[in-house]
Structure formats: C-alpha cells, structure tokens
Amino acid sequence: MTEEEKINLLKDLGFTEYEAKIYLALLYLKKADTRTIAKETKIPQTKAYQVAKKLIERGFLKIVAGHPIMFEVIEPSIAFSKPLEELEKKRENAKKIIAELQEEFQKTQKLGEEEIATYMNFEVLKEELKKLDKLAKNEICIYSRFERFEEDLIESLEKAVKRKVNVKVVGAVRDQTSELNAYAYKKVGCMVKILTSEDYAPVSFSIIDEERGHLLIRSESNPNNYIDIMIKNKKLSKMFKNLFNYYWNKGKILQ
C-alpha cells in the first residue's frame, strides 16, 4: 500500500490530512519531537504540535517523558478498536436505512399493469433482468447479440431452467467470441439456435411468459451508448414474441 493510500485510509477513519501524515511519520520514527515531526512531514512546527495534541486526546499518540517532549504511537490494534466499533455501528445503521429506502422504492417504482420504464445504467439493468428471470413461470425467450458474457445473468437463467422454465435463446454468431457466448447459454440448459451474421442487429430483447420483457438498443458506433426499455405490456410483449418466433424458426440448433 502506498503512502497516499494509507493517508486516504486514515482520512476515511476520520483523520485530517495533517493528522494522517503525522501519525504515519511517527509510526515509522517510533518516537520524535515536534521539530523532527515537522521536518519529516513538512508541516509547520507549531501546527505539528497542535495536531499531535489532538491525536493524544483521541487516543492515537502518547507523550514520552523527557526533554524535549517526545511523541509516540499507541499500538494500532488498541488505538483503532473504538473507531472500528463506531464504523461497524454506522455500517449496520446504514444497512437498515438502505433496506428501508429499498422497501419504499419498491412500493413506488414497481411496474403497473401496463407500463414501460427505461434504464441507462448497465449494473442497475442487470439487476432488473435477474428479477425478470425470477418472475418467469413458463417461458423466457431471448433474442441475443452474443457479444458479452455476463456470468450473473447466465446464472440467473440457469436457476430458471432448474425451476423447469423453458428458456430459448436465438441470435447471430459472427465470430469465435459470440459462438463461445452462445455455448454459455447452452451449457446451463437453455435451448439455443444460431443465425448468420446477416441477421445481426445492435438490439436484443427478451419476453417473459408473453407478458413482460425488455428491449435493449445499442449504438453501432459506440457500444457504450445504449438505452434499455423494460416492458410490462401484453400487446407489446406479444409483438416481440412474434418477432422472436420468426428468428427462432429461421435459426439452426447450436450443436
């Protein structure tokens, strides 16, 4: 760990920049007076003395008897035990608050009977897609680009397969990478069909039980520029299911 990383870590624990520098300097020096500390840290001597006094009050340093006054670090496992306990309490409180916020969010953000929601953050999108997989009772139909391997999404589909959900995936295989990604679906029990590169398009979609699903549209010039539309509309779902069936009937079973 670099010196800067150590300073940032101490700052996360409530230290100021000067406190972190003086504490680390004394950790290496073992004990030193303010003149030596100031020289080592390039902090003015008067300021170094004031900061050292604060660190004594907080239980991180102690005074060594003698002249001049010397400062020494208290054993870290002892000195940091209380701050760590406080951090753990804050962490537990934060988890409770986040859980409450999540509960409120779910109450207000659930898709209604006929609604559409858009997402532009891929990590959030992945979580929403995993929720869709969990909702599936009978069938999941996916038109894929086979461009990326998302392990957690594949695992989500594997769980659906184990619940006896019929998972069908079709998409264009254009190179070795897309072929390997197609096999990843097959490996977890999905039925997979492949299309030629002529059927490739910068979109993907999935339909769950012909009731809901998602459509992802990606820029061809910039793959990081995309928008995903989460759908809960039976008419739209049926339309995309018909499109899926067209490509499914056109595809060849992945051997």
Do residues 144 and 215 both lie within one domain?
yes
Q: Kindly state the tokens that stand for 152.
A: 């957690």
Give residues with Cβ within 8 angstroms of 114, minimum separation 6: 232, 233, 234
Return all residues near 216 (Cβ < 8 A) that are at least 6 apart.
Answer: 125, 203, 204, 205, 226, 227, 228, 229
Separation of alpha carbons 140 and 158, rounded Å = 12
Same domain, 142 and 217: yes
In a domain, 101, yes or no: no
- Mark the ranges of the chain whose per-residue pLDDT is less than 70: 102-122, 124-126, 223-224
- The verdict on residue 107 lying in a domain is no
94 within domain boundaries: no
Last residue within a domain, chosen from 82, 103, 126: 82
Q: Which two tokens stand for residue 239?
A: 């339309």
> What are the φ and ψ backbone dihedral angles of 2, each rounded to 5 degrees?
-75, 165
Residue 140 lies in a domain: yes
Number of domains in the chain: 2
34: containing domain: 3-82
- What is the pLDDT, as a whole number, of residue 107? 52
CATH number for the domain including 10?
1.10.10.10
The pTM of this model reads 0.55
For residue 241, the domain's CATH number is: 3.30.870.10
Q: Tell me, what's the pLDDT at 170?
A: 95
* Region class of 209: left (phi > 0), else alpha (psi between -120 and 50), else beta: left
- pLDDT tens digits, 165-222: 999 999 999 889 989 999 999 999 999 999 988 888 888 899 989 888 888 887 777 7
The residue among 189, 128, 142 whose CA lies nearest residue 162 is 189
pLDDT of residue 51: 92
* Whole-angstrom distance, CA of residue 19 vs CA of residue 22: 5
